[in-house]
Amino acid sequence: MDWLQLCIRFIVSGGLVVGASELAKKYELMGALIASLPLVSLLAIIWLYTDTGDSTRVAGFSYGIFWLVLPSLLLFIILPTLINRGVDFWPALAVASLLTITAYLVGIRMGEMVWSSA
């Protein structure tokens, strides 16, 4: 992959994050919609396939994304719950992040068991 293609990937991926956060400043729901779309996953799937041409690898990658989306949902439940209960933003984010990381580690471990038995 050449440097120009890599730069384009950085710009597109970063643009999605910046676009979602900027849109959320005026329209929270629209920013949330952009952030919730699996655009990064779709781009990664497309780039993985164009780089490798390996559909089996794409299928495994997609399967992994599915199982690892589940632990990520914990962040979006814990963070607003803590904030709504009066916890300041940074401590709430830290607790939600630590619990999400723990859920990811459990999810990865479970995924390893599922994938190794498949």
What residue segments make up the domains of the chain, in order of their start? 55-118
Between the CA of residue 4 and those of 39, 80, 112, what are the distances in Å?
A: 21, 40, 35
User: What is the model's pLDDT at position 117?
Assistant: 65
Task: Decide: pTM greater than 0.75.
Answer: no
Query: Which among 43, 52, 51, 42 is positioned nearest to 9, based on CA atoms?
Result: 43
User: What is the model's pLDDT at position 118?
Assistant: 57
Per-residue pLDDT of the chain (118 residues; tens, 9 = 90+): 688 888 888 888 888 888 889 989 999 988 888 888 788 888 889 989 999 999 999 998 888 888 888 888 999 999 999 999 999 999 999 999 999 999 999 988 887 777 676 5
Q: Do residues 45 and 58 lie in contact, with contact meaning Cβ atoms separated by under 8 Å?
A: yes
